[in-house]
Amino acid sequence: MNKINKKIAIYIRVSSDKQLKQGFSFEDQEEKLIEEVKREKQEYIVYRDGGISGTKIDNRQGLIRLMKDVELGLISKVYVTKLSRLARNARDLLNIVYDLKRQDVSFRAINDNIDTSTPMGKAMITLMGLFAEMERDIIIEQTRAGAERRAKEGKMYGSGPIFGYDRVLDETSEKKTMKIVINEQEGEVVRTIFEMYLGGYGYKAITNKLNKAGVRTKKNKLFAINTIKTILDNPLYAGYIRYGKYKDWNIKRRKGLSTEHIIVEGNHDAIVTKEDWDQVQEKMKQNQRRKAPVGKYILAGVLACPECGSKMTGSKTKYKTKNGPVERLYYSCSQFHNKGLTACHANGIRVDLIDPIAIKKIAKKLNSPELVETLYNYITENTIDENSADGKRRILEIEIEKRSRLKSEVLSMHREGLITASELKEELEKIKDRTEEYQHLMSELIEGTDDIKSQSLLITKQDVESFLSDISSILKTKVESERLKVKELIRLIVSRIDITNKSTAQMDIQLSYDEMLYGILNRPTQTK
């Protein structure tokens, strides 16, 4: 077997144009690091991340590629100029260094004079990591204080695009700061949105009209329901500045909603009157959607639109008959639901007609001998030796990675309007609890304890058949209170359903083998 020729990794990161001017440019960092690496007389490879903050590591593609190459055993050492180039969060930094150590890869930060191949370097890395996090916290507080001060002075903060306004240089400012002025064309659209809403139009109707008229957002994209809601909710358009609505947005997003935000009169021109904005706020409170009945739309999030392929969401219509009003539930395209006819069409499918057919077909697929054979063969061919430390660690890593993917899928479903905020919160709590459980087991394993107990995998075809039969029985339940369980189960075991012929209800069902395998492997086996 040929020996892998390991290389030294050079990692460089620049987070802003300001850093380019302060000597942190790609060229400056690379030149300095290459000069150091040449002394090692070893080949090197450069990994770069540009315009990326050091606070979060999950969006840094250069670092992600580096760590993958470390896992593959292609790297012997990692060089950076400063500790903060790698991570500003102490926990992230120590996790990265631990992952490097696990693969027998040393780490050097040349400006900080840290080398983890030495005992002193190992001690210093922990201490320096804490200082890096402290520095980050100070910067955040200073930035937050500056933004709050500008807000209280009635000045706009931030640099992102604002529909209805343009950012221009404030010639009256000694520091040459930016100010916002009304974009007349976009401002007229904002006024129309407020007028339509006060005139009885809903979010979807407004979205549909704007998109059909060819109006686009600041980023030249279709309007969505959430875009309209954000505009109607923003006091900026009434001449006011709101600050502090969300705290720690980069981490908590909308879950960081704060009740301590401030609203002050701004120095910019208003597009709508304060009276109109107040009326809109009152109407938005009155028109808040009631939570959809739990478990009503069991195929939402897996059923695909037959036209554009996007996931379908639940909707309902009401109409009068001679016997009184009737409410009918449908699955409709989420793109149509959020952006109107310009994006797609409703392509409505009646819930009462499609649900029983889909459940019957899923159950039939679960009970097929072919599926039993496929799952059984996969398990027997890919079983990991759970009794070894490496086997246990690998299993835990797989499960943690799986929860991470599931979290991304759930967040995506919420963004597309496929699940409510409360359903999102519930799903994220479940994912968090399971992830923390695996992480706890992982740390116990790392510390060398024997607390992780595992049994040899003695899975039989009978176990697989029994598991699939149990799932099939749950799917066929007619009990209304069990609908939520059916919905959750479908989301776990079905990745996608495509309607291939609407008139004959022909459909292509794609199962999620990962979740079924997990269920089988964690199911009590038959006594041998």
> What stretches of 153-202 show up as alpha helix (H) in DSSP?
184-198
Specify whether 171 is located in the same domain as 120.
Answer: no
pTM: 0.46
Distance CA 65, CA 77 (A): 15
- Nearest partner of 80 among 106, 58, 98, judged by Cα: 106
Specify whether the CB–CB gap between 49 and 63 falls below 8 A: yes
Phi and psi at residue 75, in whole multiples of 5°? -120, 140
Specify whether the CB–CB gap between 361 and 509 falls below 8 A: yes
Which three-class secondary structure state does DSSP give residue 81? coil
Specify whether the CB–CB gap between 241 and 154 falls below 8 A: yes
Specify whether 23 is located in the same domain as 134.
Answer: yes
pLDDT for 212: 87
Q: How many helices (H) and strands (E) does the chain have?
A: 19, 15
Specify whether 270 is located in the same domain as 207.
Answer: yes
Domain count, the chain: 2
What is the DSSP code (8-state) at residue 55? S
Specify whether 192 is located in the same domain as 133.
Answer: no
pLDDT for 187: 94
Q: Does residue 331 lie within any of the structural domains?
A: no
Q: Does residue 186 lie within any of the structural domains?
A: yes
What is the DSSP code (8-state) at residue 238? G
Distance CA 209, CA 306 (A): 24
The CATH number of residue 130's host domain is: 3.40.50.1390
Distance CA 201, CA 195 (A): 9
Specify whether 95 is located in the same domain as 26.
Answer: yes
Q: Does residue 412 lie within any of the structural domains?
A: no
- Nearest partner of 295 among 142, 173, 392, 423, judged by Cα: 423
* Domain's final residue, options 248, 265, 286: 286
Specify whether 131 is located in the same domain as 35.
Answer: yes
Tokens encoding 139: 């910067």
pLDDT for 1: 38
Specify whether 171 is located in the same domain as 135.
Answer: no
Q: Does residue 92 lie within any of the structural domains?
A: yes
Distance CA 313, CA 301 (A): 7
Specify whether 58 is located in the same domain as 128.
Answer: yes
Q: Partners of 481 in the beta sheet?
A: none
Which three-class secondary structure state does DSSP give residue 26? helix
Residues with a catalytic annotation lie at 15
CB-based contacts of 494: which residues, under 8 Å, 6+ apart? 302, 362, 509, 510, 511, 512
Distance CA 44, CA 40 (A): 10
Specify whether 218 is located in the same domain as 131.
Answer: no
* Number of C-beta neighbours around residue 180 at 10 A: 19
Q: Does residue 232 lie within any of the structural domains?
A: yes
Specify whether 133 is located in the same domain as 13.
Answer: yes
The CATH number of residue 187's host domain is: 3.90.1750.20
Q: How far is CA 433 from the centre of its chain?
A: 17
Range of the domain at 131: 7-139
* Number of C-beta neighbours around residue 246 at 10 A: 14
Q: Does residue 460 lie within any of the structural domains?
A: no
* Domain's final residue, options 251, 286, 321: 286
* Domain's final residue, options 267, 286, 305: 286
Q: Partners of 494 in the beta sheet?
A: 511
Q: What is the mean pLDDT of each run of 10 residues along the chain (528 residues)?
A: 72 65 66 87 86 63 88 88 77 77 86 81 62 56 56 57 86 73 94 91 88 90 90 91 58 46 80 93 78 71 89 85 84 85 88 90 86 75 52 68 75 68 78 78 60 47 80 75 77 85 83 63 45
CB-based contacts of 479: which residues, under 8 Å, 6+ apart? none
Q: Does residue 17 lie within any of the structural domains?
A: yes
Q: Does residue 315 lie within any of the structural domains?
A: no
Specify whether the CB–CB gap between 127 and 49 falls below 8 A: no
Specify whether 180 is located in the same domain as 120.
Answer: no
Specify whether 22 is located in the same domain as 134.
Answer: yes
